[in-house]
Amino acid sequence: MANFVSASILSADMLNLESEIRRLEKADVNMVHFDVMDGVFVNNISFGIPVLEKLGKASRYMELDVHLMITDPLRYVKAFDKAGADIITFHIESESDTAETIRTIYEETDCNAGLAIKPDTPAEAVFPYIDMGMLDMILVMTVEPGFGGQQFMDMSEKIRKIREYADIVGEYELDIEVDGGINAETAPIVKNAGANILVSGSYLFRADDMKSAVEKLKK
């Protein structure tokens, strides 16, 4: 399975988003990771629909990978679809009905559906939703959601269990994305466990040579 890199725009230079998009494209980043925070589900507020619309217009090659850290994602999935999202990922710990939210993304939007789990949520929690056959991706958080630049937490066991389960169900290829503290040192740990989409914020945007930083994450 090929590895993909999704750059978390939370760590970008907010005053120069268009040139940041160009920089990501030149570095062969595959996706733009867009962290939406509502100040209730997590202790932080980031950005939302109007910013996503602009990013979609600026980005020529990269997919828009939207990570909703909000209390009621079901209420907003169609709006994020309309704003240009390619993947909509929401949290199992949110207050929306999980199955209904997955079904709505699958049936009523053009987006791929992702389900995210926080560090304390066990792998088994996502199994019934993988069984629905409508999920494209599981996002395993390797930090508590809310902020960039945090210390990586090793979730290898959890990733391995989800990869094994998806292989047993086996009807389609499930992506496993990891998010939080991913850099050249932690990337091999998550890839060995079975993750194939690596979100990276502070490591990528701080790198002197972004292209070689991306290569290190992908290989």
Q: At what angle do helices 17-26 and 49-58 cross, to 10 degrees?
A: 50
Q: How far apart are CA 137 and CA 94, in angstroms?
A: 17
The catalytic position among 35, 38, 81, 136 is 35
Of 6, 20, 27, 35, the one binding Zn ion (CB under 5 A) is 35
Residue among 65, 81, 136, 179 flagged as catalytic: 179
* Residue 179 binding ligand DX5, by CB under 6 A: yes
Of the candidates 127, 146, 156, 216, which one interacts with ligand DX5 according to CB under 6 A?
Answer: 146
**Which one of ligand DX5, Zn ion, none is in contact with 6 (Cβ closer than 5 to 8 A by kind)?**
none
The entry of ligand DX5, Zn ion, none near residue 91 (CB within 5 to 8 angstroms by kind) is none
Stretch that binds ligand DX5, among 18-26, 55-63, 117-125, 138-146 (CB under 6 A): 138-146
Do 175 and 137 touch, CB atoms closer than 8 A? yes
What does the block give as tokens for 18?
């268009």
Label residues 107-123 b or e (16+ Cβ within 10 Å = b).
eebebbbbbbbbeebeb
Min CB(210)–ligand DX5 separation in Å: 13
Q: Which of 67, 47, 66, 31 is nearest to 145 (CA)?
A: 67
Q: Which of 4, 5, 10, 102 binds ligand DX5 (CB under 6 A)?
A: 10
Residue 120 is a catalytic residue = no
The stretch among 78-86, 92-100, 125-133, 143-151 that binds ligand DX5 (CB under 6 A) is 143-151
Q: Which residue is nearest to ligand DX5 (CB)?
A: 201
Which lies closer to Zn ion via its Cβ, residue 67 or residue 191?
67
Residue 70 contacts residue 36 (beta carbons within 8 Å): yes
- Contact map string, positions 189 to 218, toward ligand DX5, x by CB under 6 A: ----------xxxxx---------------
Region of 152 on the Ramachandran plot (φ > 0 left; ψ -120 to 50 alpha; else beta):
beta
Specify whether 179 is catalytic: yes
Q: How far is the CB of 172 from ligand DX5 (least distance, A)?
A: 25
Binding positions for ligand DX5, 49-108, rule CB under 6 A = 67
Name every residue whose Cβ is closer than 8 Å to that of residue 67 and which is 6 or more positions away in sequence. Answer: 33, 34, 35, 36, 89, 114, 116, 139, 179, 199
Closest CA to 112 of 136, 76, 77, 83: 136
CA distances (Å), origin 21, targets 61, 154, 209: 10, 30, 15
d(CA 105, CA 90): 10
State the catalytic residues: 35, 179
Contacts to ligand DX5 by CB under 6 A: 8, 10-11, 33, 35, 67, 143, 145-150, 179-182, 199-203
